[in-house]
Amino acid sequence: MKKTTQPTTPGQHKPGQHTDTADGESAVLASIAAMPEPDRVIAGRLHEIIKASAPVLSPRLWYGMPAFARDGRVVCFFQSMEKFRTRYATFGFQHEANLDEGNMWPTAFALKKLTAAEEAKIGALVKKAVS
């Protein structure tokens, strides 16, 4: 059987493909810059919060959206409202995040805008996720 692969555009990688930090950073920033508002504002601020809260995480694209990985595995991600045609953006965590709390805990959050309260909560969650 002949195996076919779909080419990726520069800066866009397959979900399991690793990129170096500089390539990931520039790809994520380009992705954010291409987003319409309010996604661009939310994603840009999330990028800053995550980098400040968990410098151990590396930015990368994941399914074309900004994400942050540790050792090549996605810990947290952003989904734009425009791309997924929802009334809110989503900030979520993968199973790599250390957020376990009893038998049930949240892994994704709806975002319509970011205030200081949400920013503080996100920063604390990201720190906990990489602890």
CATH number 3.90.1150.200 given to 21-129 = yes
Query: From residue 79, how far is each of 4, 26, 34, 39, 91 by CA, in Å?
Result: 28, 18, 14, 9, 6
If pLDDT is split at 50, 70 and 90, which confidence band does 7 have?
Answer: very low
58-110: pLDDT as tens digits:
999 999 999 999 999 999 999 999 999 999 999 999 999 999 999 999 999 99
Instruction: Report domain extents, the chain.
Output: 21-129
Please tell me the predicted confidence (pLDDT) of residue 44: 98
Residue 11 pLDDT > 90: no
Please tell me the predicted confidence (pLDDT) of residue 22: 73
Please tell me the predicted confidence (pLDDT) of residue 40: 97
DSSP annotation string for 42-105 = HHHHHHHHHHHH-TT-EEEEETTEEEEEETTEEEEEEE-HHHHT-SSEEEEE-TTS----TT--
